[in-house]
Structure 1
Amino acid sequence: MEYADGNWWGDLMSDSIDYGNLMHDAMRGLIREVLSQVADEGLPAEHHFFITFDTTHEDVALADWLRQRYPGEMTVVVQHWFENLEVGDNGFGITLNFGDSPEPIYIPYDAISTFVDPSVEFGLRFETQDSDEDEGAEEEAPPEPDVEGATASEAEVVSLDSFRKH
């Protein structure tokens, strides 16, 4: 059957389904939904988040001193003290406390590399295209959060590589 925009079945069959990007979109939607609930209702029970993101992403907004301290990647913890959590379609803004210094930051969802809630042993890790191209390279372990006494390694991280056909 032909549609006004062309033969959609032929287009689908000539290209492959990009499951990786579809999964990443779904995972970002999950993060957006979780953060929206937290913005509306606060953090329930013992829930808290370790969010690791790329500080070099063009849409990340953070203080210059934080960008200098974390020139490539940073892990923030959303737990005891945070305010002004504003969740949007493409990212979220939040004010966090860094050594008694409240700092507003903005993190686009596509800058996030890991999202972990260790209270329920839940985690997501976003694989990059670079890791797909370097099949012979060893995969790096997720970074430890920048907080004393807390570790992200206690949570189980879901990796898309376990679902990829090699």
Structure 2
Amino acid sequence: MANRDGLNYGRLMQKALRGLMAEVLGHVAEHGLPGEHHFYIGIDTTHPGVDMPDWLRARYPGEMTIVLQDWFADLAVLGDRFQVTLNFSNQPQTLVVPFAAVQTFIDPSVKFGLKFDEDEEGESGDFVPAAEPPRGTGDADGEPAGSDDGDDGGDDGGGSSADIVRLDRFRKT
């Protein structure tokens, strides 16, 4: 909701965080993944503009988590969306994902994550400073979609938990 000056800080923050994600993906598209960095990207498969094979959409009818780690190809940032080819059961498939369809963006190697929630206006954002890969998504083998290495990127045994800062808490109603 906008304050009396008409500034919608939630919407501005969401746009900035999605821009950060686009910049990171653009850097990786150009230079590759540095060091141990890898990404778990949760997407809304029903969002307009998500382009994926019908069989994959049937397998993940609402949401799915893709992994950019050991094997991915043709990553490109295309304005308001990104494109990537991933391996699904030894079948390379190209996905096109609007940034607005991204629900989570997590880099567990540095305990960084972004979580995007939609409110009544479809625009808000949460910052998640430390995160683990999402649970309850993935392929039939229990691995996140697009993963081909068996490493689920889970907790390293450090026992740290994520502190989630919800921006909605600061929004005036």
Q: How would you bin the TM-score normalised by the shorter chain? A: 0.7 to 0.9
Report the TM-score, using the length of structure 1 for normalisation. 0.77
- Confirm whether residue 119 of structure 1 aligns to residue 121 of structure 2: no
Asked if the contact 2:3–2:172 (Cα under 8 Å) also holds between the matched residues in 1, the reply is: no
SS of 1:97's equivalent in the other structure is strand
| Total equivalences in the alignment | 146
Query: Does structure 2 retain, via aligned residues, the 8 Å contact 1:51–1:115?
Result: yes
Query: TM (normalized to structure 2)?
Result: 0.74
Q: 1:100 aligns with which of 75, 81, 90?
A: 90
Instruction: Classify the secondary structure of the residue corresponding to 1:129.
Output: coil
Q: Which consecutive residues of structure 2, in runs of 5 or more, have no partner in the other structure?
A: 123-132, 144-149
Partner residue of 1:38 out of 10, 14, 28: 28
Which deviations, in whole Å up to 9, do the C-alpha atoms of 1:127-151 show, x marking residues without a partner?
A: 111599xxxxxxxxx9424225525
CA RMSD after TM alignment: 2.7
Shift of residue 17 of structure 1?
1.2
Unaligned runs of 5+ in 1: 1-11, 133-141
Alignment CA distance shift 1:131-1:29 (3 Å): closer
The aligned counterpart of 2:51 is 61
Deviation, 1:16, is 2.9
Q: Identity over the aligned pairs, expressed in percent?
A: 48
Cα distance, 1:88 vs structure 2: 1.5
> Which residue of 1 is the match for residue 167 of structure 2?
160
| Structure showing the higher helix proportion among its residues | 1
Structure 1 counterpart SS, 2:75: strand
Relative to structure 1, is the Cα distance of residues 164 and 13 closer, same or farther in structure 2, using a 3 angstrom cutoff?
closer
Q: Tell me which of the two structures has the higher relative contact order, counting C-alpha pairs closer than 8 angstroms and 6 or more residues apart.
A: 2
